[in-house]
Amino acid sequence: MTLSLPILGQSPTRDGQLESIIPENERLIPLKDRRPLPMSMEEARAYGWDELDVVFVTGDAYVDHPSFAMAILGRTLQAAGFRVGIVSQPDWHKCDDWRRFGKPRLFFAISAGNMDSMINHYTANKKVRNADAYSPGGKIGLRPDRATLAYCQRAREAYKGVPVIAGGVEASLRRLAHYDYWSDKVRRSILLDSKADLVAYGMGERTIIEMAQRLAAGETIADLRKMRGVAYALGASEKPPEEALTMPSFEQVRDDKVAFAEATRMIHNETNPYNARTLVQFHDRQAIVVTPPALPVTEKSMDRIFGLPYTRKAHPSYKEPIPAFETIKNSVTIMRGCFGGCTFCSITAHQGRIIQSRSRESVVTEIKQMAEDNGFKGTVSDIGGPTANMYQMQCTRPEVEAMCRRQSCVHPKICKLLGTDHGPLINLMRDARSVDGVKKVLVASGIRMDLAQRSPEYMRELTAHHVGGHLKVAPEHVDPYVLDKMKKPCNDDFEKFADKFARESKRAGKKQYLVPYFIASHPGSDLDAMIHLAVFLKRNGYKPDQVQDFIPAPLDVATCMYYTGIDPFTKKKVETAKSLKDRKLQRALMQFFKPENYFEVREALMEAGRQDLIGSGCDCLIPDKPPKEAIQRRRDDANARFRGEYVHTIKPVDGQKKGSKKSSRHQQPKGYRPKPPKGRS
């Protein structure tokens, strides 16, 4: 089959446009006539393809919905004229799945999935999670730990000489030396451990199209090194670009926490695509080079990306529902990026600080298509993005934005140059709920409360039409010092928002409630800070059902504080709860009202010298005497330590009698994590 290649004249990354290569009429294909990208060679032949250009390998189940990265990137490449196949959650113990489509003509595109595989697998206490939201039926074990490494290795084994390009959250946030919470050490760049030819970091539509175009035109993988948004490893004899900014080396950040903090500061100072410089970090004699981030895409490009013919369904081969898809299947993304700069969040690092929005027409068209689906019940579950109310907000002085290195546009206070007009969003919300077949359009994305209060009209629209009884918000903490380390607004901001929300809800004749989310054990949060939070919860009648425990994700500023005990921008000391006991006490304080937490809360209060909060006073968190449930819980925990399942027990092999020599061998359960290469943990 002869491939009709897109015109190569202007690279989409060089001219900042995607609309020139993605046909506008793709969105006009009726939903019922759409089909997913192929997951087998049989499905590829149904497209008329006997060879593929790019094979995607992903740790997630394949859902053809624009909330899933493989769907967006695969559809974008397809629209640009390339033949694409999806290998979802392959068996990484052998190469068979990597050979499913035969040898890809251009490259393998590797991703661990929508999440870092270690965060996907483990809780903050490093316990294995009970479910994987991105797998059919929520099953665990369908992807390995550090999935990018295993997938890249198998791609190389499957077909020698085929370029291997890694991307996604896991590869993006591990492109340089980074602290790894699960091994409690500084690990080197994922490029060296995965042996990937390139890492494409950040949002990759334009990046991956340029890669495909240039490789199809006969260029080599080495020719792609000057592209934006890529990271690569140089050979020991190769020299990095002369204009590059040299960071502390891997050996320095591994051995010196001050050097690690400085490296973190440099990385985050070079995230504005308009002024970022190329970074270089040596690992022994080998250099890792990271080029500046890709430029933000235009509104027309966003419209084309989200207007591609997604089926908005999981691949028909799946027999069980995929939890993550069930949550977002009736949601609509209206923008990407976030200028909040929260230190514990990876969104800004991955999507960038510059807001990239879709047009009203594009969003309304998508909602109309949703309404045509027989399975649609009339409710759009969420209209938003990383945040609910940054739609079309931009810096009002582009010439200043091009020079700015500020980490947050809203902390410590909202920048006077930031455009905060909610008018375009209000009009979009009105248009969305007026679509035939739509009964309700909800806002479930996190609302930036400091921005929302600047628009009384937005608050009225929100409370009157877009809240389904409860609205989730994320004040994260109440202690001023902790909030400053998070780059979050002061607690007064949350309380003012709560008052306005209550007034506007009453005005609309509705009983609606806020569901605030808070984080325990964040850098800077000690027992005093958590007691401050617990008293606030008691006074305001909040009883959190779930506790968010801080997890140090690679590359985050808060992770640097956790590991080094240093704020990378001020170089001041930051105390952090690291021990299991300290983290347990902080979690218990957030749920002081639960009887089973009584003894942990009491221990925390005694340790902090806050016995005044034990008793029957209005601010007291727990009574003098433990409730019966607390005593029973402690008794059960004590008894559990002496039950057989809590003691190392040797089980006989099937068919063996107890006491035989062979039955004394410990039978290891079959796990799903790959063994590390010899000599490396």
Q: What is the DSSP string of 49-111?
A: -SS-SEEEEESS--EESTTSHHHHHHHHHHHTT--EEEEES--TTSSGGGGTT-S-SSEEEEE
The answer to whether residues 128 and 159 belong to one domain is yes
Residue 642 counted as domain residue: no
Residue 10 counted as domain residue: no
The answer to whether residues 383 and 506 belong to one domain is no
Q: How far apart are CA 291 and CA 516, in angstroms?
A: 39
The answer to whether residues 419 and 519 belong to one domain is no
Query: How far is the CA of 612 from the CAs of 478, 535, 537, 621, in angstroms?
Result: 20, 12, 17, 9
Residue 378 counted as domain residue: yes
Task: Report yes or no: 440 and 379 within 8 Å, Cβ to Cβ.
Answer: yes
The phi-psi region of residue 52 (left if phi > 0; otherwise alpha if psi is between -120 and 50; otherwise beta) is beta
The total of other beta-carbon atoms located within 10 Å of residue 625's CB is: 10
The answer to whether residues 434 and 530 belong to one domain is no
Out of 581, 602, 626, a domain closes at 626
The torsion angles phi and psi of 642, rounded to 5 degrees, stand at -110, 5
Q: What residue type is assigned to position 377 of the chain?
A: K
- pLDDT one-digit tens code per residue, 84-93: 999 999 999 9
CATH (domain of 238): 3.40.50.280
Environment class of residue 133 by beta-carbon count within 10 Å: exposed (0-12), middle (13-18) or buried (19+)? middle
- pLDDT one-digit tens code per residue, 93-146: 999 999 999 999 999 999 999 999 999 999 999 999 999 999 999 999 999 999
The per-residue pLDDT for 348 is: 87
Structure tokens, 363: 């969003």
The answer to whether residues 276 and 150 belong to one domain is yes
The answer to whether residues 180 and 211 belong to one domain is yes
Q: What residue type is assigned to position 246 of the chain?
A: T
Structure tokens, 608: 């902090």
Residue with the bigger pLDDT between 1 and 191: it is 191
Task: Report yes or no: 107 and 164 within 8 Å, Cβ to Cβ.
Answer: yes
The per-residue pLDDT for 25 is: 55
The answer to whether residues 475 and 550 belong to one domain is yes
Going by pLDDT thresholds of 50, 70 and 90, the confidence category of residue 593 is: very high
Average pLDDT over residues 322-346: 96
Out of 626, 648, 668, a domain closes at 626
Q: Please name which of 264, 234, 240 lies closest in space to residue 252, comparing C-alpha atoms.
A: 264
| Domain total in the chain | 3
Q: Please name which of 268, 290, 178, 170 lies closest in space to residue 563, comparing C-alpha atoms.
A: 178
Structure tokens, 104: 């890809």
The per-residue pLDDT for 674 is: 47
The total of other beta-carbon atoms located within 10 Å of residue 195's CB is: 15
The per-residue pLDDT for 349 is: 87
Task: Please tell me whether residue 518 adopts helix, strand or coil conformation.
Answer: strand
Residue 615 counted as domain residue: yes
pLDDT surpasses 50 at 664: no
The answer to whether residues 493 and 429 belong to one domain is no
Environment class of residue 235 by beta-carbon count within 10 Å: exposed (0-12), middle (13-18) or buried (19+)? exposed
Residue 267 counted as domain residue: yes
The answer to whether residues 284 and 382 belong to one domain is no
CATH (domain of 387): 3.30.750.210
Q: Please name which of 543, 525, 521 lies closest in space to residue 621, comparing C-alpha atoms.
A: 543
Q: Please name which of 281, 291, 292, 267 lies closest in space to residue 343, comparing C-alpha atoms.
A: 267
Environment class of residue 356 by beta-carbon count within 10 Å: exposed (0-12), middle (13-18) or buried (19+)? buried
Q: Where are the alpha helices (DSSP H) in 508-627?
A: 527-540, 557-564, 580-590, 598-607
Residue 399 counted as domain residue: yes
Out of 290, 318, 341, a domain closes at 290
The per-residue pLDDT for 678 is: 46
Average pLDDT over residues 674-678: 47
The per-residue pLDDT for 642 is: 65
Least confident of 5-9, 166-170, 225-229, 494-498: 5-9
Task: Report yes or no: 263 and 281 within 8 Å, Cβ to Cβ.
Answer: yes
The answer to whether residues 91 and 230 belong to one domain is yes
Residue 439 counted as domain residue: yes
Average pLDDT over residues 212-216: 97
Which residues lie closer than 8 Å to 124 by C-beta, 6 or more apart? 521, 549, 550, 551, 583
Residue with the bigger pLDDT between 673 and 568: it is 568
Structure tokens, 196: 């990937």
Q: How far apart are CA 394 and CA 391, in angstroms?
A: 9
Count CA atoms closer than 13 A to 53's CA, side-chain side. 22
The answer to whether residues 144 and 218 belong to one domain is yes
Structural domain span for residue 416? 330-445
Going by pLDDT thresholds of 50, 70 and 90, the confidence category of residue 643 is: low
Residue 644 counted as domain residue: no
Q: What is the DSSP string of 234-288?
A: PPTTPPPPTTPEEPPPHHHHHH-HHHHHHHHHHHHHT--TTT---EEEEETTEEE
Q: How far apart are CA 368 and CA 356, in angstroms?
A: 22
Q: How far apart are CA 200 and CA 294, in angstroms?
A: 10
Structure tokens, 112: 């661990």
The answer to whether residues 105 and 227 belong to one domain is yes
Average pLDDT over residues 351-373: 95
**In the block, which residue shows the tokens 């695969």?**
74
Average pLDDT over residues 175-192: 98
Average pLDDT over residues 503-518: 96
Task: Report yes or no: 287 and 250 within 8 Å, Cβ to Cβ.
Answer: no
Structure tokens, 233: 């490893």
Q: What residue type is assigned to position 445 of the chain?
A: S
